[in-house]
Chains A and B, each alone.
Chain A
Amino acid sequence: MSGLMELLSNDFLPKFLAGMVVNFEIAAIALVVGLALGLLLAAGRLSGGMVTAITVSIISLMRAAPTFVVMFFLLNAIPRDATLFGAPFALSGVMTVALSLVPYSAAYVADAGVDSLRHLRAGTREGALLFLPNITRAFFVLVMSSSAGAAIGVTEGITVILRQAEQLSSFDDRLVLFAIGIVMFGIPLQIAFALIGLIQRRVGRVAVKEPAVEV
């Protein structure tokens, strides 16, 4: 345990917090790109005809594509000297992880967006407002999923923990360190989910109190 304490007394916490910032950064990029793409797909899905069929297929494929495989595909399929419209298009580690999460986030946004647009068309504004807590939930799922970056050397929170764990020879110390990691990731996640639950219940109550809006 003394080995663990020695490690933790060094610069572990600042490094870990800096790593967690990277997790949030990756999630934010994935969500912003996912929102743009997902809302387009949602609009396409509601437009009817052939466009709907194509959009549904695209969303199904995006939903089925495993994030981890997409990440390795992006990492290996895009040449280091690739250009897009004449500009260099080499992806950093953070961007690779973020873009690998886009199929998930875009498919999720498309599904939530379709629900929300249907509520709006039906005049149920509160139902449509559930889009926001759903997106917040997706954001935290993305934060957790961004730990996949550890596999390609992105210095995010889990990477910092695993690097510290490599320095520990004691099995017990490692488990304690992992537990610390779970707590550190768990606190913002559980607070966020509690807030989402609160917002959803409040929106639900408003919806029940103001049924006239739903007409």
Chain B
Amino acid sequence: MIAAIPRAKPEGPFRPQEGSLATLGMTGLLFRATALIALVLGLIAAVAPARAATPDAALAELLKEARAKLPAACTQPNVDRLIKILCAKKIRVGIRDYYPLFAERKGDRREGYEVDVALAIGRMLGVDVDFVRVNAATRIPLLAEDRIDLTIATMGHNTQRDGQVRFIRPHYYRSETTVVGPRELPVASMLDLAGRTVCVTVGNGSNAELVSQGARLMLFDEAGVLPDRLKDQTCTLAAQDDSFFAKYFTDDDFNARYFQKFGFAQVPWGMAVARQGSAELARALDLISQVFHRDGLFIDIGRLHSVRLGFLQQQQLVWRKPECNTDVGSANPSCVLPPLNTALQPTSFAADVTSFERWVDARTGIDLALPMLKAAPAWSLFKDGVVYSLVLIAGALAATLAFALMLGAAMGSRSFLLRWPARLVTMALQSSPIVLTLVIAATIAHGLFALSTVTVLGAAIAALGLANGSNAGQAIGEAMWSLRAEGMQGGLFGRALSRAATQIVAFLINAAKGTPIASFIGAPELLSSLTDITSFSSGRITTYSILLIFYTAVVLVVVWLCGKLKQILEHRQAAA
């Protein structure tokens, strides 16, 4: 599908008006004089090497100058890629093979918004287009290796990539991360995401923003699985580039069931050329892009391929403004969009960490990655995660002990009114999987209090304490009844604690081991923090290994402490 290609508009200082001398008079004389002056000025302007005022003229001039160098320049080394393209009469464009609506290959045929944009550029330059398959990993290296002249491959323009390639501005599209979910689900903004699980792909730049709003992330390697995970209800919500979901929303069934709740993290897409040896090519493409926006060609091509037109329509208005529709419009900050700033503030010791990673790699061959120590937001999340984990463990141990004592005393009581409610609560807690107990605690906490870190931690501590304390309490209660059966009378509760020491200790350890599951209800402990960190950085294997070592070590310490507690309780029993 090829859209109509606009041609550069004829340019000139102005066209002199024709008039009849008989009809002139004084006014006519003045008019003639003015016209004469204007004509002279026009001739001067035409003769002098004046700078063209519109992108069309600038482009025509640039191409004319480049063509004037042919064929002599074709054999010269280190000429600009624009010259090379004109010499070869073809431009090599890096393009994706499968990105629905934007670039798809079906046998020998390619189609999509980006394909037609590339063909339109070829026509403007008067050359053929050779498509070269690229993907997210190769679209920049192939430019640097001079295997392609231009990449048009769904590439977001961010500050990180700005140093690797020369982006063409104005941008040819803009995507945003869109949150998709069932139509009936009441989610309308970021504020509604707190505590909800959102399915995302690892490394997506917008994950950090979701995390900052309190959303829990479920990570996937490939975006392609997200629609299926929505359909099988693995994911209630999924966040991904709107250009990715665009195709799925053309499906009636998908469109009837799901809705784009809201969008955020807008990122402009840029065509790009190599930073070295492509100055003139980049300039030509900047001007072409300006013309395409102004004349609505991007809109025409976008409409042909059913891509979202909002950005393109907005850009058409921008590039029709007099201050933007000039040969220097693409350098005017009020006309072009800035790149997305994705740079994360490094920690003060990031360089040392990098050196350490290299040292380990050089000596052991282990590809160690410690993202939590290199970027300031990640380091902050990591520190908070460790602190909250320790708070959670201490809280869960205290709550387990407290509930064990309370429920144990009630279950060991002679009073029916104390004993049976405690038994029923224990039975219910034993019958509830811990995940469900946590969710119930979180639901009740959210119903009673405003959502906050304290609320979530409190709910998690209560749930872990109840689940484990009820079992330990049952052991205490049974110990009390067994002591009564043996004819013991005084100090029954203290003796029961000693007798049930093994079970109490076992459930205390179980409570400590269970704390990471609190991340399921959004407790910001270490598992939660590291999942968030890996969602926008690399080094998953190292990160989760550190997590496993941390929790295992902490539980071993708890086991050791509980062993001491058990000794004390058993010593008391022996003394009694």
In the complex, whether A58 has a CB less than 8 A from a CB of chain B is no
Shortest beta-carbon distance, A68 to chain B, in Å?
4
Known: A66-B513, A152-B218, A190-B431. A73 touches B547 (CB 8 A): yes
In the complex, whether B223 has a CB less than 8 A from a CB of chain A is no
Shortest beta-carbon distance, B416 to chain A, in Å?
21
Interface centre among B229, B236, B439, B520 (most CB of A within 10 A): B439
In the complex, whether B443 has a CB less than 8 A from a CB of chain A is yes
In the complex, whether A36 has a CB less than 8 A from a CB of chain B is no
Among B235, B236, B436, contact of A178 (Cβ-Cβ < 8 Å): B436
B556 touches A60 (CB 8 A): yes
Shortest beta-carbon distance, A104 to chain B, in Å?
9
Convert A150-174 into 0s and 1s, putting 1 for each residue whose CB lies closer than 8 angstroms to a CB of B.
1111010110011101110101001
Shortest beta-carbon distance, B344 to chain A, in Å?
21
Among A63, A66, A181, contact of B436 (Cβ-Cβ < 8 Å): A181
In the complex, whether B380 has a CB less than 8 A from a CB of chain A is no
In the complex, whether B186 has a CB less than 8 A from a CB of chain A is yes
In the complex, whether A182 has a CB less than 8 A from a CB of chain B is yes
Complex Cα spacing A86 to B161, Å: 38
Complex Cα spacing A176 to B430, Å: 18
Stretch at the interface among A44-52, A128-136, A140-148, A204-212: A140-148
B545 touches A186 (CB 8 A): no
Shortest beta-carbon distance, A183 to chain B, in Å?
7
In the complex, whether B368 has a CB less than 8 A from a CB of chain A is no
B548 touches A73 (CB 8 A): yes
In the complex, whether A72 has a CB less than 8 A from a CB of chain B is yes
In the complex, whether A13 has a CB less than 8 A from a CB of chain B is no
When distances are taken between beta carbons in the complex, the residues of chain A under 8 Å from B436 are 147, 158, 161, 178, 181-182, 185
When distances are taken between beta carbons in the complex, the residues of chain B under 8 Å from A187 are 431
Shortest beta-carbon distance, A191 to chain B, in Å?
11
Shortest beta-carbon distance, B528 to chain A, in Å?
10
Complex Cα spacing A186 to B541, Å: 37
A185 touches B431 (CB 8 A): yes
In the complex, whether B447 has a CB less than 8 A from a CB of chain A is yes
B433 touches A158 (CB 8 A): yes
Convert A39-80 into 0s and 1s, putting 1 for each residue whose CB lies closer than 8 angstroms to a CB of B.
000000000000000000000110111111110110011001
B431 touches A186 (CB 8 A): yes
Shortest beta-carbon distance, B522 to chain A, in Å?
12
A183 touches B431 (CB 8 A): yes
In the complex, whether A1 has a CB less than 8 A from a CB of chain B is no
In the complex, whether A189 has a CB less than 8 A from a CB of chain B is yes
Task: Say what secondary structure dominates the interface of chain A.
Answer: helix
Among A64, A175, A186, contact of B513 (Cβ-Cβ < 8 Å): A64
B520 touches A77 (CB 8 A): no
Complex Cα spacing A157 to B431, Å: 13
When distances are taken between beta carbons in the complex, the residues of chain B under 8 Å from A148 are 434-435, 517
Shortest beta-carbon distance, A170 to chain B, in Å?
11
In the complex, whether B172 has a CB less than 8 A from a CB of chain A is no
B435 touches A77 (CB 8 A): no
Known: A64-B556, A155-B232, A190-B427. A76 touches B432 (CB 8 A): no
Convert B519-539 into 0s and 1s, putting 1 for each residue whose CB lies closer than 8 angstroms to a CB of A.
110000001000100100000
Of residues 75 through 95 on chain A, the ones whose CB sits less than 8 Å from some CB of chain B are 76-77, 80
Shortest beta-carbon distance, B558 to chain A, in Å?
8
Among A66, A144, A169, contact of B433 (Cβ-Cβ < 8 Å): A144
Complex Cα spacing A69 to B540, Å: 13
A73 touches B434 (CB 8 A): no
Bin the interface of chain B by size: 35 or more
B541 touches A76 (CB 8 A): yes
Known: A64-B552, A69-B516. A77 touches B527 (CB 8 A): no
Task: Say what secondary structure dominates the interface of chain B.
Answer: helix
Among B219, B434, B541, B547, contact of A147 (Cβ-Cβ < 8 Å): B434
Complex Cα spacing A72 to B548, Å: 9
When distances are taken between beta carbons in the complex, the residues of chain B under 8 Å from A169 are 186
Complex Cα spacing A174 to B531, Å: 28
Complex Cα spacing A150 to B447, Å: 22
When distances are taken between beta carbons in the complex, the residues of chain A under 8 Å from B317 are none
A72 touches B433 (CB 8 A): no
When distances are taken between beta carbons in the complex, the residues of chain B under 8 Å from A181 are 432, 436
Among B435, B519, B540, B543, contact of A150 (Cβ-Cβ < 8 Å): B435
Complex Cα spacing A181 to B432, Å: 8
A76 touches B544 (CB 8 A): yes
A77 touches B218 (CB 8 A): no
In the complex, whether B428 has a CB less than 8 A from a CB of chain A is yes
B431 touches A175 (CB 8 A): no
Complex Cα spacing A158 to B513, Å: 20
Interface centre among B427, B513, B545 (most CB of A within 10 A): B513
Known: A60-B556, A178-B443, A185-B432. A153 touches B229 (CB 8 A): yes
B431 touches A182 (CB 8 A): yes
Of residues 6 through 20 on chain B, the ones whose CB sits less than 8 Å from some CB of chain A are none
Complex Cα spacing A68 to B435, Å: 11
B431 touches A69 (CB 8 A): no
Known: A77-B541, A153-B235. A72 touches B547 (CB 8 A): yes
When distances are taken between beta carbons in the complex, the residues of chain A under 8 Å from B229 are 153
When distances are taken between beta carbons in the complex, the residues of chain A under 8 Å from B543 are 76
When distances are taken between beta carbons in the complex, the residues of chain B under 8 Å from A70 are 548
Shortest beta-carbon distance, B364 to chain A, in Å?
17
Complex Cα spacing A66 to B540, Å: 18
Shortest beta-carbon distance, A172 to chain B, in Å?
10
When distances are taken between beta carbons in the complex, the residues of chain A under 8 Å from B555 are 64-66
Complex Cα spacing A186 to B229, Å: 29
In the complex, whether B138 has a CB less than 8 A from a CB of chain A is no
When distances are taken between beta carbons in the complex, the residues of chain A under 8 Å from B444 are 175
CB nearest neighbor in A for B557: A64
A66 touches B431 (CB 8 A): no
A66 touches B427 (CB 8 A): no
A182 touches B513 (CB 8 A): no
When distances are taken between beta carbons in the complex, the residues of chain A under 8 Å from B443 are 165, 171, 174-175, 178
Among B184, B233, B519, B551, contact of A163 (Cβ-Cβ < 8 Å): B233
Complex Cα spacing A55 to B158, Å: 53
B552 touches A61 (CB 8 A): yes
CB nearest neighbor in A for B555: A64
When distances are taken between beta carbons in the complex, the residues of chain A under 8 Å from B559 are 60, 63-64
A73 touches B545 (CB 8 A): yes
In the complex, whether B440 has a CB less than 8 A from a CB of chain A is yes
In the complex, whether B334 has a CB less than 8 A from a CB of chain A is no
Among A80, A166, A174, A185, contact of B221 (Cβ-Cβ < 8 Å): A80
Complex Cα spacing A67 to B444, Å: 26
A72 touches B428 (CB 8 A): no
Convert B486-528 into 0s and 1s, putting 1 for each residue whose CB lies closer than 8 angstroms to a CB of A.
0000000000000000000000000001111101100000010
Supply 12 A–B pairs (Cβ within 8 Å), ascending by A.
A60-B559, A63-B559, A68-B519, A69-B551, A77-B545, A147-B436, A153-B199, A153-B235, A158-B433, A163-B236, A178-B439, A186-B428
User: Apart from A64-B552, A69-B544, A144-B434, what 4 extra A-B contacts exist at CB < 8 Å?
Assistant: A61-B552, A66-B555, A147-B433, A155-B233
Sort A-B residue pairs by CB-CB distance and give the 5 closest, nearest first.
A186-B431, A147-B433, A153-B234, A64-B555, A147-B435
